[in-house]
């Protein structure tokens, strides 16, 4: 059931990240998925991957919360990319 | 290589696509303009220990590795998104401020029209 509060998460951003391989996109998705959202009533993130593309969908109550959440997740994704690049 | 992209959408109908331009210098660095400590903090002597590593080059040194290109493009894309959302936040803030000011003036006008002179409780 969708709560009334969740209905208001209508500031959205969809991010598509093309990894070099399907395996890398899958790893990045699995690494980030367990991260808890501190205020799920204000901000939600969904991770998925399709072939070598990682898909991240953000939903937020306003631009301010969206900015903080999106930038934080991109920071994490850059760290994952940097790590795979260093180890490969 | 395929580029990382983003699509923003807001309830006021605004939509924006974010697509990096591969040759633009802002998409060729791992040091973002909107991330990390501010210049003020760095000038005060703070050392940025979380600074991202420089991008890696292929074995023959001819170009960046695929993942390093992805990281530099993500850095530029992140800056674009941060700057865009910061502008949107400023607009919303100014709109709110203007609304409050308009309300204050309207209340003042209403008070004058009602003959309010602050003496209601005098008798």
Contacts of B2 in chain A (CB under 8 A): 18, 53
State whether A70 and B85 contact (CB < 8 Å): yes
Q: Reduce the DSSP state of residue A69 to 3 states and report it.
A: helix
The total domain count for chain A is 1
The CATH number of residue A71's host domain is: 3.30.310.50
B59 reaches A (C-beta below 8 A)? no
Q: Which domain holds residue A32?
A: 6-87
DSSP letter for A44, please.
E
Give the predicted TM-score (pTM) of the model: 0.83
Q: Quick one: pLDDT at residue A1?
A: 47
* Domain assignment present for A57: yes
* Domain assignment present for A50: yes
Nearest CA in chain B to A85: B67
Q: Quick one: pLDDT at residue B83?
A: 96
State whether B86 and A67 contact (CB < 8 Å): yes
Q: Which of A12, A16, A75 sits opposite B35 (nearest CB)?
A: A75
ipTM of the complex: 0.89
* Domain assignment present for A68: yes
* Domain assignment present for A1: no
Q: Quick one: pLDDT at residue B5?
A: 97
């Amino acid at each position: 059931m969708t709560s009334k509060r969740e209905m208001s998460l209508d500031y959205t951003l969809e991010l598509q990240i093309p990894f070099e391989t399907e395996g890398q996109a899958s790893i990045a998705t699995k690494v980030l998925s367990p991260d808890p959202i501190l205020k799920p009533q204000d901000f939600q993130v969904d991770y998925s991957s399709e072939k070598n593309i990682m898909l991240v969908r953000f939903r937020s109550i306003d631009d301010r919360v969206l900015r903080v959440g999106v930038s934080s997740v991109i920071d994490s994704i850059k760290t994952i990319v940097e790590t795979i690049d260093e180890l490969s | 290589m395929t580029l990382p992209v983003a699509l923003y959408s807001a309830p006021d109908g605004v939509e924006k696509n974010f697509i990096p331009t591969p040759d633009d210098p802002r998409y060729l660095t791992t040091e973002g303009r909107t991330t990390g400590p501010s210049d003020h903090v760095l000038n005060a002597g703070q050392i940025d220990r979380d600074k991202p590593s420089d991008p890696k080059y292929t074995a023959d040194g001819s170009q960046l590795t695929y993942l390093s290109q992805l990281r530099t493009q993500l850095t530029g894309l992140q800056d674009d998104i941060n700057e865009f959302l910061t502008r949107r936040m400023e607009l919303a803030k100014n709109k709110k401020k203007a609304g409050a000011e308009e309300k204050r003036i309207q209340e003042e006008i209403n008070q004058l029209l009602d003959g309010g002179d602050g003496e209601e409780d005098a008798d």
